[in-house]
Each structure stands twice: as structure tokens, then as C-alpha cells.
Structure 1
């Protein structure tokens, strides 16, 4: 794992946001990594060393995950998290960048492009969530019960880290103790479960087709053909609704593409960022 040249925490939108910065000696291109649900900067550990060859890299722990704040006073909606990311980058003096979002991070990247146009020049969506509705009303109402966060913690403990990893990784031989401990670490303190309760309450639905069709920044979609969390059909649908996009499909790959196929993901990103304009053909690797 490549050590960041700088790590920091900034107080943005009333919450502490942790980030890791890997500056490049000469590149003028910056990529910003946004992880998925129940994850952290750790999920990009295989991809970051490759991206560092060509780009300035910033990896962000989205609240309430990783080392970022877990306050119950923050609004954990996608739009507010998108606003938090853009404000963090502004505070760091970064005005030109490509967003790389995995799963939930992909949906937040799309929210950045939609709600804060011209903030990012391009986006790479790695098995991005899409078309999900807001949580059902009974679940949202239940989240206001005083002890609901204990249920959230119980549900997480019942499924377990290994079982969750087996759901997101196609090749189970990749799952080792380091991976398990890395994904478990953020959940060893109880505060996160109250914050997750608020996320259930605050999370709006994913951007609808009419919003996606208004996003004109170039988007590269990278999907695993064995994704059981966000099936490939979602990627195909997003590639139709995003007017300036293309879809690359990685064979024998599950949902956690930055862990499973970092070299292929890196190659696609490098080619995409270096291109002046997008083609229309989809590809498989």
C-alpha cells in the first residue's frame, strides 16, 4: 500500500472530513476517489499506487465512514455529501479534477455533476449505484426510535465482514485477514451506528433518468460482469441515460472492482482521462 504524502482532516459543512493526498511531481491532472457504502479510503489500496504514476490523487473518507466524523448533526443525504466533497476540494485549492466513485461513491459523483455543474471535468463510475429509491416510509419512521441504532449494529454484526466481502468479491481467494481487518476497522466504534441510522433517514433516492440526461460531462462506467450488488443491467441503463458516456465490462469480476482488477481499472482510467473526447463503443476486458 502506498503511503500518502499528506493526510488531513478539515471541518467542512459542520463535520470533520478525512482525506489522503498523493501529489505528483509533474502531472497537472487530479483524480478524487470516493468510496462506497460501508467502506473507506481502504477500498482503493490497490488502485492508488497505480494512479500515483500519472496523477495527483486525493482519496476521501465520506462521512460517517473511515476516519471522518460521525456526528448525528450532519445531514447524510447524497446532495449534502456532494456539497461536502466540492467544499473540501475548494478549501484545498483544487479547481480541476476527475471524480472516481465506487458504488455509493459513484452516485455521489453523479450528484456533484448534477447539482454542482462545472466543478468536475469528468467522472469514472465504478459499479455505481443507480435508480435506487429512498428507504421505505416504515424504515424511515423506525429510524427515529431511540434505540434503533442498536438494531443497525446487530444487523451488521449478524452479516459479518467476511460474508459481506463474499457478496462483493467474485474471486473469494482474494479475501484475506488484511482485507477483513481493513473493512472492519471503521466499525469498531459505536458512534458510526447512530450516524448510519441518520443516513437511513436522510438518504434521498438516486438521481432519476431526467436528471441523468442533463449531465453532459464525460463519464466512463466500469462494471464487473458478476456484480451481485449493483448488477450490470444498472450500468447498461446508466450508459443509456448519461448522454456522454461509455461502458467497459470486466469479465470474471464482481462488485469490488478496485480490489479485484486494479490494473484493468487503472488502464481504462488513464486512457479515458488522456482522451480529448468520448467514443460511443462499449468494451469488455
Structure 2
């Protein structure tokens, strides 16, 4: 498209394609709401997480990592800086690092001083800086992950954990930085993710809806128009994300409120900008690299955004993988049934670092015997 085509015409102050946006949005919103109604989740009467502090990560050690193209990424760290292993968490679309709240809370206790955990907000999400819409791509996210690793984990073994778009980030990193595997990156988890575009999912049709196409175009050529219409844009995307978040089991009211807050606080330009990336990305080449290390593939069997066949396909391509299908869970499986995911991550770390931990134990015993 030429610059002339993108400019407003006839002195009306808006491009012709914007004229029909309201009608498209009405159609799109209706489609989103109908999907949401068909899979509405049930809220539990009892709320075990009523008093949960979901801002736990906010108090952890804070670091800013600036990417090569100048975007500041907000990072939080838990555990000793000199821990023998670092686990780095990469969150999904329209979320932030708090999406791993339960993993941060439980695994910090489980691993103690042996493991350091690093969490960060993807570009355009959470506390991280905004970025040009043309950088909202999965390959760019893989490069951002490398920037985080370079600054926060300059040495020592690493296990990568990605949820949804974060899992795609891990795959992208594996494709672009294969020499880091298996010497530096010793294990990886992809939770509710996919190696290629999600257009085959039941919600693919919604993601290709004409109103979103118009909004995507506006992000690039008339960002102010998107901001003015952000309520309408959210009315299409919001119901789809909420509907896909949880399965058919009863869900904690507080957990639902927390996840919806993360989605609501995501800028519309980020939301719209990354939609295309989720549809068209293809990081299947990263599977060849990840085959070198122990992996965890996990998803809910009621996940509409990344249905379990995506996870099954990845597991087939990864000979050292454990496949965990969580019964009754939706896309936010790590928030909905955290114990299952936590246990699987503990097993992954044990599989990824057995020789190091065994060798450490042996040396400690020999030293004790020698001094005894």
C-alpha cells in the first residue's frame, strides 16, 4: 500500500476504509459474544483464592533489560543470583508476568536456593515499554528473550518456560539461537502453545473477522483511530479471550478477576498488533533444536485458542518430551490448575539437570567424609 492510499481522502478526516468500521465492529462483537456464551465458564461458589496477593511478583528484585531496538523490558527475579540453575518464564498474549503467579509462589518454596527464577513482561505488555507495531512478531519475541538471557543469565544452565505466545517465543529462540542448546539451555516447557499459526483452532474464524482486519490496518496507518475505538475493538477480542481462558470446571472468582484485569490493561495496539503474529507464525523449525533437550508440553483439554492437537503434534516431534493433558482446563491452565503444571515443571527441572544435581550431592558427601 502506498502512503497516498493510506492518507485520508476528500477532506473528510478519515480514510474510506474507516467509514464502515462501526458496522464491522458490530458484526465482530456479536460473533465474539456468541462464542463466549457457548463456552461460558462456571464460577465456583467457594473462592479458595479470595485473599491471594496476586501482585506478589511486584515486590521481587527488579531489573530493566533494554532490547537492541531500544524497548525497555520489565524483569523480576526470585532466588539467589548464584543459584546453580535459572528458570526463565515467558508469558502469553494479552497477559503479563503475573500469569505465572502460582508458579512463582509454589516453586520458590519447592526449589529453595537451588534455583533462581526470572520473569519478564513481553514488549507492549505489562510494565514493559511500547514498541512499533511492525515489531509485534514472534521472531522479534525470540530475540527479546535472548536479550533477557544475555543480561540476567550471562552464565550457567537455563530452563525456559513459555505459556501460549511465550511458548512460541521459546520455539522462536530455539530456531534463531540453536547453538545455545543443549549446553546453555538444558530444558524447555511449552504450555498451551503451538508451533505454528492458530488459524486452525475453532477461534481462527473470529481472529480473521473483518472488524479485526480493519483494526489491524488502523494500528499501522492510523493508530489514533484505534485508540478512539478501543472499546469496540475490545468488545470483539475480549469475549474470545475470556471464553478461551478456562475449561468446564468451576473456577475461582478471584483468579478470573485477576486474568481479566491483565487482559483489560493490555493496550489495544498491542492486542491488535500481535493477533496477526499468532495467526501466521511458523516456528516448527525450532522443534529440531528443542529435540536436543528434555521438554514439557502441557495444555488443557478444553483449550480453544491452542487446542490439544497442537500440543500432541509438538510432543511427537520431541523425543525427550513429557506430554501433560490437563482434564477440564482451558487456555490459562497454569492459573486454573496450577498444581498439575507446578509438579510437571519440577519433573522437567529434575530431568534437565540430573547429572549436575547428582554430581553436586556426590561432591558434598565426599567433602563431608573427607573432613570427617
The one of 346, 355, 369 equivalent to 1:270 is: 346
Deviations 1:94-140 (A, max 9, x none): 4321111011110101111111121522111111133217987x836
Matched, 1:11 2:11: no
- Distance in 1, Cα, partners of 2:270 & 2:309: 31
| Structure 1 or 2: more helix by fraction | 2
- Change in 2 beyond 3 A, CA 1:241/1:150: farther
Matched, 1:115 2:180: no
Mapped contact 2:299–2:325 kept (Cα < 8 A): yes
Mapped contact 2:190–2:298 kept (Cα < 8 A): yes
- Name the residue aligned to 2:139: 79
Mapped contact 1:72–1:195 kept (Cα < 8 A): no
Matched, 1:155 2:233: yes
Matched, 1:128 2:183: no
The one of 292, 304, 320 equivalent to 1:244 is: 320
Matched, 1:100 2:161: yes
- Name the residue aligned to 1:44: 100
- Name the residue aligned to 1:35: 91
* Structure 1 unaligned blocks of 5 or more: 279-285
- Name the residue aligned to 2:306: 230
- Distance in 1, Cα, partners of 2:173 & 2:158: 12
- Distance in 1, Cα, partners of 2:104 & 2:196: 28
Q: Match of 2:102, SS?
A: coil
Mapped contact 1:223–1:232 kept (Cα < 8 A): yes
- Distance in 2, Cα, partners of 1:155 & 1:108: 25
Instruction: Tell which deviates more after alignment, 59-68 or 48-57.
Output: 48-57
- Change in 2 beyond 3 A, CA 1:94/1:260: farther
Deviations 1:167-207 (A, max 9, x none): 21115642425642554256447xx2234444356668333
Instruction: Tell which deviates more after alignment, 117-126 or 23-32.
Output: 23-32
- Distance in 2, Cα, partners of 1:234 & 1:125: 11
- Distance in 2, Cα, partners of 1:8 & 1:193: 26
- Name the residue aligned to 2:122: 62
- Distance in 2, Cα, partners of 1:110 & 1:203: 13
The one of 229, 242, 256 equivalent to 1:165 is: 242
Mapped contact 2:163–2:192 kept (Cα < 8 A): yes
Mapped contact 1:24–1:52 kept (Cα < 8 A): no
Q: State the Cα distance separating 1:57 from its structure 2 match.
A: 0.9
Q: Match of 2:65, SS?
A: strand
Q: Please give the TM-score of this superposition, normalised by the length of structure 2.
A: 0.64
1:178-257 maps to which residues of 2 (within 5 A)? 179-181=256-258, 183-185=260-262, 187-188=264-265, 192-200=267-275, 205-207=280-282, 209-216=284-291, 217-257=293-333
- Distance in 2, Cα, partners of 1:184 & 1:86: 28
The structure having more radius of gyration, on CA atoms, is: 2
- Change in 2 beyond 3 A, CA 1:73/1:236: closer
Mapped contact 2:86–2:153 kept (Cα < 8 A): no
Mapped contact 1:19–1:60 kept (Cα < 8 A): yes
Aligned length: 275
- Distance in 2, Cα, partners of 1:214 & 1:93: 20
